[in-house]
Structure 1
Amino acid sequence: MVASTSTKENFNLSNIKEINSYGVKNVLKSATIFGANASGKSNLSRAIATLKKIVLESLDSISDKAIDNAIPFLLKEDLYDQPTEFEVTFLANGNMYRYGISIEKGLIAEEWLYWTKTSRETQLFHREGQKVTFNQRSFSEARSFVNKDGDSWNIEKTKPFVPFISVLSQFDGEKSVVVTDWFQSLNVISGLDDHGFKEFTIGLFENNSDFKEWALEILKSLQIEDIIVDEVEDKIPLPTKRKSLEDSDLDDALNKLQGFIEKNNIKKKLIKIIKLNPETDKFYSFPLALESEGTKKLIYLLGPLYEVIKNEEVLIVDEFDNKFHTLLCKFILDLYYASNHGSSQLIVTCHDTNLLTKNLFRRDQIWFTEKNALNESEIYSLIEYKEHYTRKEGSYSKDYLSGKYGAIPLFGSIASIGDILNG
């Protein structure tokens, strides 16, 4: 997300945010990742979500280990010949932080945290197994959690599969809280379904008048005048009259469930949309369920977009273009640029090559994923293809589809697919 310093990229300046600190001139407000199916786009999103889960949920359960979500590369004989490693560099509270963790056979092999206040990076702590070195001046929050052992320090009160940063944050360590707060502001969702953000958006329509006003102004382009959230009784289809089951325990359980349902009204939220008929000048309401999948996805996506723009957070949307027409994708991206005046960032993965245009993205905002000969995913930027910066028509899709950037499906043409299908 660091913007190119090349003068040839001095267009779409609204897509960047000026930093001029820590050796960074500008950062990008958005990036998009293209690639063939199974090239690794979703795995990149999952990896970021996994790191967040490890940092924030490692203390939630005694038995379940969040670290087990880090799956090693599976296409080799020895799965654990190399540790699984994650690292992120981010800006927070006026400083730059670099946090990383290395996992080997379900345990933390290494963990580190560095920060940059002006231009020089300084180590805050570096962990190897259960031993740690730490900056006693800048990271004094670690003192109560280490024990001197000769010339080295041992970590205390931290299990070998739990991040040190997570433990220190639980006890309000000043810099550790900055790191975990940043992970709290990192949001990863899938565009394949609305799991995880549908209910969130419904709640905003119910309880946040500023969001509703913002969203309805956008939805007017879809002829939607209003959104109404109703709470209705959720009817569970259990038979009122039924024969007793041979299994007495199961029969008793069903009787208790039926009795509970009859005594307690279970509610669910139902969204209705209001549309205007211009010929009759009358308003009509009907369930959102009758609308297209693309309209439903757009409405539910507005919640996360609003929240990350307002709170200057990061949003990663895997399969962003799923269910969306090209023009709707462009509409959402333009909306994000127009609304984002702060430090929010949007990263999307997609397939729609019509989005490969200068009007939406600079070259440093366009990334590709591709599998190498060992089936490992590699990611690289369009900025590496220096010969294409002068394209006058402003579209890179033709070159991409012809294979000039790689990251395309195995079948280069419809004809080759036909040859295989026809023997």
Structure 2
Amino acid sequence: MLLQFSVTNHRSIKETAVISMKAAADKTMKEILISPDGKKELVPVMAIYGANAAGKSNVLHALLLMREMVCGSYAKPLKGATLPYEPFAFVDGKMEPTTFEIIYYNEGIKYAYGFSFDKNQIINEYLYHWPNGREALVFSREKNKYEFRESIQEQMTLSGRTSENRLYLTSSNEWNCSQTEKAYLWFQKNLRGVIATGATNEITIDAIRRGGEEKQRILKEMMLADLGICNVELSGTIENPIVSTVHQLVDNSGISKRYTLLLGQESIGTQRFFSRIGLWIEAIDCGAVLVVDEIEASMHPLLTRHLIEMIQDQTINQNHAQLIFTTHDTGLLDLKLLRRDQIWFAEKDEKSMQTDIYALTEFSPRKEENIARGYLQGRYGAIPFIEGGI
């Protein structure tokens, strides 16, 4: 479970921006809250609003880039290769490093992990955990100088094998380091993301291919979404699958007939829901943190709402998965759907071009307040300024 993420000096974010899943002292919708330890309460869903180019997507980009540097496409750079360093551009003089920090729970244990980097090297890196409710250092690093609390000699050997442009959390796990293993596996297994233009059908197709209960869960959600689809069939090869949807119609005489369409012949909204429902179910099963940019892209508002409600419903989301998404859909600004501490905003300063991230709770809105109307009226900021008219 994710508690908090912070980013400094990345794209439009210059000063430290923090998002937190910690529940506020709000008595409404208590039934949706989740807990990693039976004490602390977290929200399962966070929505981030903001104008185009305000920087809301940059928060998610930073979180997913952190994952990519730990266990993804940037985890194994060649010695001397440059790192994915995208600092705030509107500065004079020396560029400062980018910093990521994340606080999360894995198997009931709290972890705090962070690092700073520029285009050439990891400048610092650290990992703390709370195995018995008390803070303990796992490792810390300042360039090539390390400090360890356990298995010091073994880890010093591993640190010597870690190049200046690689994370120790990553390299140590190539050698089965027990001290960092669980912290690393959370990134690999429990942090996932999708951007609006990068939707893939792979996870949904894999579930359908396995058949049985997994396929039935996909079909059930497709039917609940009222897409008129009663079955999904696969042909082609594993490398190049062909997806067909089956529709059942009843003619005037009451005779039932089935018709088949290629998935590409379905509406864009249906295709989008198909691509996402497998990802949603997998995240729910694994208790993962799902990060989605523009959740409403090409989908009907009721389908978007249904995906959110799946995460909020603890009878469905029994493993406490979480969802963080950006959106422009003001229909989701509904205090019957989202608590006040689940709504966040991104706003860019017109003079400095810096992004500021803040929560709705900073405005202390009343429980009966129309949040959507207040947002569109500019009461909370984070909307575009449109000068003049037609």
- Scaled by the length of structure 1, the TM-score of the pair is 0.80
Alpha-carbon distance in structure 2 between the residues aligned to 1:348 and 1:56: 22
Ranges of 4+ aligned residues in structure 1 off by more than 4 Å: none
Q: Do structure 1's residue 167 and structure 2's residue 171 form an aligned pair?
A: yes
What is the identity, as a one-letter code, of the residue corresponding to 1:14?
E
Alpha-carbon distance in structure 2 between the residues aligned to 1:161 and 1:129: 9
Q: What is aligned with 1:352?
A: 329
Q: What is aligned with 2:15?
A: none
3-state SS of 1:146 partner: helix
Alpha-carbon distance in structure 1 between the residues aligned to 2:266 and 2:102: 40
Cα contact 1:59–1:166 (8 A) shared by 2:
yes
Q: How does 1:308-327 map to 2 (within 5 A)?
A: 308-327=283-302
Q: 1:60 to 1:104 in 2, by over 3 A?
A: closer
Q: What is aligned with 1:376?
A: 354
Alpha-carbon distance in structure 1 between the residues aligned to 2:205 and 2:191: 21
Q: What is aligned with 2:154?
A: 144
Q: What is aligned with 1:236?
A: none
Q: What is aligned with 1:243?
A: none
Write the deviation string for residues 64-95 of structure 1: whole angstroms up to 9, x where unpaired: 84x61131111222352x22100100001221
Cα contact 2:77–2:165 (8 A) shared by 1:
no
Q: 1:384 to 1:267 in 2, by over 3 A?
A: closer
Q: How does 1:125-204 map to 2 (within 5 A)?
A: 125-135=139-149, 139-140=150-151, 142-146=152-156, 155-184=159-188, 185-194=190-199, 197-204=200-207
Q: Do structure 1's residue 38 and structure 2's residue 53 form an aligned pair?
A: yes
Q: 1:267 to 1:334 in 2, by over 3 A?
A: closer
Q: What is aligned with 2:69?
A: 54
3-state SS of 1:111 partner: strand
Q: 1:38 to 1:79 in 2, by over 3 A?
A: farther
Q: What is aligned with 1:227?
A: 232
Identity %: 28
What is the identity, as a one-letter code, of the residue corresponding to 2:205?
I
Alpha-carbon distance in structure 2 between the residues aligned to 1:64 and 1:210: 48
Q: What is aligned with 2:92?
A: 77
Q: 1:297 to 1:112 in 2, by over 3 A?
A: same
Alpha-carbon distance in structure 2 between the residues aligned to 1:38 and 1:59: 28
2:27 aligned residue (1, 10, 33): 10
What is the identity, as a one-letter code, of the residue corresponding to 1:146?
M
More helix by share: 1
Cα contact 1:31–1:348 (8 A) shared by 2:
yes
What is the identity, as a one-letter code, of the residue corresponding to 1:201?
T
Q: What is aligned with 1:29?
A: 44
**CA deviation after TM superposition for structure 1 residue 178, in Å:** 0.9
Q: 1:3 to 1:37 in 2, by over 3 A?
A: same
**CA deviation after TM superposition for structure 1 residue 213, in Å:** 0.5
What is the identity, as a one-letter code, of the residue corresponding to 1:29?
P
Q: What is aligned with 1:117?
A: 131
2:247 aligned residue (248, 254, 275): 275
**CA deviation after TM superposition for structure 1 residue 191, in Å:** 2.1
What is the identity, as a one-letter code, of the residue corresponding to 1:187?
R
Greater gyration radius:
1
1:406 aligned residue (381, 385, 388): 381
Q: What is aligned with 1:108?
A: 122
Equivalent pairs counted in the alignment come to: 361
Q: 1:15 to 1:407 in 2, by over 3 A?
A: same
Alpha-carbon distance in structure 2 between the residues aligned to 1:389 and 1:177: 45
- Scaled by the length of structure 2, the TM-score of the pair is 0.87
Q: What RMSD, in angstroms, separates the aligned Cα atoms of the two structures? A: 2.1
3-state SS of 1:222 partner: coil
Alpha-carbon distance in structure 2 between the residues aligned to 1:267 and 1:17: 39
Q: 1:101 to 1:218 in 2, by over 3 A?
A: same
Alpha-carbon distance in structure 1 between the residues aligned to 2:208 and 2:37: 38
**CA deviation after TM superposition for structure 1 residue 208, in Å:** 4.2
Write the deviation string for residues 186-216 of structure 1: whole angstroms up to 9, x where unpaired: 101112342xx31222122112432211111
Structure 2 unaligned spans of 5+: 1-19
Alpha-carbon distance in structure 2 between the residues aligned to 1:64 and 1:227: 48
What is the identity, as a one-letter code, of the residue corresponding to 2:208?
F
Alpha-carbon distance in structure 2 between the residues aligned to 1:159 and 1:63: 6
**CA deviation after TM superposition for structure 1 residue 276, in Å:** 0.9
Write the deviation string for residues 290-319 of structure 1: whole angstroms up to 9, x where unpaired: 111011000110111011100111110101
What is the identity, as a one-letter code, of the residue corresponding to 1:214?
R
**CA deviation after TM superposition for structure 1 residue 337, in Å:** 2.6
What is the identity, as a one-letter code, of the residue corresponding to 1:28?
V
Structure 1 unaligned spans of 5+: 148-153, 233-265
Cα contact 1:126–1:132 (8 A) shared by 2:
yes
Alpha-carbon distance in structure 1 between the residues aligned to 2:138 and 2:198: 40
Q: 1:208 to 1:357 in 2, by over 3 A?
A: same
2:221 aligned residue (218, 223, 231): 218
**CA deviation after TM superposition for structure 1 residue 61, in Å:** 4.7
Cα contact 1:34–1:349 (8 A) shared by 2:
yes
Write the deviation string for residues 238-282 of structure 1: whole angstroms up to 9, x where unpaired: xxxxxxxxxxxxxxxxxxxxxxxxxxxx96211111111122311
